[in-house]
Each structure stands twice: as structure tokens, then as C-alpha cells.
Amino acid sequence: MPETKAQATVPTGFKGKTAMVTGGATGVGRAAALEFGRLGCNVAFCFVNLPGRAIRETALLTETTLAAMGTKVYADACDVRDRTQVARFVAAVQERFETIHYLVNNAGIANDGALWRLSEEDWREVIHTNLIGAHNCLATVAPLFRAQQFGKVVNVSSHQASRPGFGVTSYAASKAGLEGLTRAAAVELGPSNVNVNAVAPGFVRTERLLELPPEVIDRAKASTVLGRLAEPEDIAQVVSFLCSDEARHITGQVIVVDGGLSLEYR
């Protein structure tokens, strides 16, 4: 019989492990990157420039903040919709940190508008970024996770996957698909000791949300039991918990972090 090569045991704890966060320059992605850095991980994050937003400058600020914490960090532009770019980014992360232990699929966009007004390109852009982009990253990293018999994946969904408002058909569909991907990937990767979960935030105090009119933000607060918006750190800490050793028996789940929004409190 051919000799079977024993797999190296991955040590417990966060220290020295590597986290890859997509869309890590701003918002929830930035908070997740900083949380992994605080826990002693190497951090790799990617980003893309978006019209009207200084994403590259914010990415540099995030990278600088991580480095000041003593974190080994790698950041670069990568369009998750392009499998070739994803493969190139993952290879660069491997070159610097040897492997990846945690994948956070956070990159996402929204093109809001009534479904009969959304162009095909508007729809395609959201689905390709939020759903196909997450699959591209997961499919690229999966062979690493399977080879080392260890990995944690957290997909960032949204309360709108199950509680959509008006004008979010493409976004809600992409996030509902992401939750389906979460469950299916958990089934396929579970035998390789890989956990795949999702978090579904409600309203989070990010740059994009704060661009909305004050009355909209006030309504968002009032619609939750706790009467407040989530901070990005509130979501990041759930992400890190799902990657922890304590969450080793949780997989295929969507953890709702919405301040009680889904309780239909008035």
C-alpha cells in the first residue's frame, strides 16, 4: 500500500494564524481585520476602489493601523468577481504567511432601486460581487483548508436576506444565495474539519449607512429592540467567535446580529 502522509496538527488559539478578509478596508471588513490583528493573527485583506469613495486611502490607513499594532499585514487590490485575481491574491498571501486559516467573505455592494428599474448590469454587478465573489474566494481557499484539515469561513450576509425592504431585490437575492452557499459549503467541507458559517447584521454604523438622511437612521434605530445601531466591532466580534476553538462544533449556521430587528418590535 502507498505510504499515507500524516497531516500536521494545527495548534489551537489565534496567535500566529492567518486571516484573509475581503473588503477589509472599510466598515465591517476593517473591524474584522483589526479584531484578528488584536487576537494575534497575521492579516491579509483585499479591496477595490469604488466610485466616489477613497477606498485605497482608507485601505492604507487600515494597513498602517494594523502594522502599528505589531500585526504582520498584507493588503492589495483584488476584484473578487475575477477568479484569476483571487487566485493571485491567495498565492501572494501564501508566499508571505505560508497558508490561510480563516476566510471572511465580506466584500459586497448594493445597487438599490425598484426591480423594474434595475438594469441587467445593476443586477449582475451585485450578484457577481456578493455571491459569485464569495464563491470564488471559498473555492480558491478550499484546497488549502482541505490539505491542512483545518479552516474557518465566515460569510457576511444581511438581515435583508430574510427581511427585505423596498428596492433591494438584487442585494436580498445575493445575500439569500450567500446563506445557501454557506450551508452547502458546510456540508462539503465538514469532513475536512472546516467550519462554514455566516453572520447576518442588521443596521450597522458604517460609512455608507451614515450617508443616509437622519430620519432614515432614526427609523433604523427605532425598529430594533435595543434601540441602537450596531457598531462594526459588534459584528467583528461575532466573526472572530465563529473562528475560535470554542465554536468548533458550529457549522452551516447563520447568526443574526441585528439588535432584535427580526423580532418585529414596534
pLDDT digits (tens, 9 = 90+) for 25-75: 999 999 999 999 999 999 999 999 877 778 899 999 999 999 999 999 999
The pLDDT, as a whole number, for residue 178 is 98
The percent of residues above 70 in pLDDT, for the chain, comes to 95
Task: Say which of 74, 102, 171, 265 is annotated catalytic.
Answer: 171
Q: What is the pLDDT of residue 195?
A: 98
Which one has a higher pLDDT value, 167 or 222? 222
Q: Among residues 147, 65, 62, which one has the least CA distance to residue 100?
A: 147
Work out the pLDDT band at 265, boundaries 50, 70, 90. Answer: low
pLDDT at 5: 41
Please answer whether residues 153 and 195 qualify as being in contact, where contact means their C-beta atoms are separated by less than 8 angstroms.
yes
Name which of 65, 57, 75, 86 is nearest 19 in CA terms. Answer: 75
Question: 171 catalytic, yes or no?
Answer: yes
| 143: DSSP letter | H
Q: Which domains does the chain have, with CATH numbers?
A: 18-202+231-260 (3.40.50.720)
Beta strands in 32-116 (DSSP E): 42-47, 73-77, 102-105
- Closest among 83, 22, 67 to 48, alpha carbons compared: 22
By C-alpha distance, which of 17, 11, 57 is closest to 37?
17
Residue 144 has a pLDDT of 98
Residue 193 Cα distances to 13, 64, 84, 145, 252, angstroms: 16, 34, 26, 8, 13
| 151-156/254-257 β-pairing | unpaired
162-191 per-residue burial string, b: 16 or more CB within 10 A, e: under 16: ebbeebbbbbbbbbbbbbebbeebbeebee
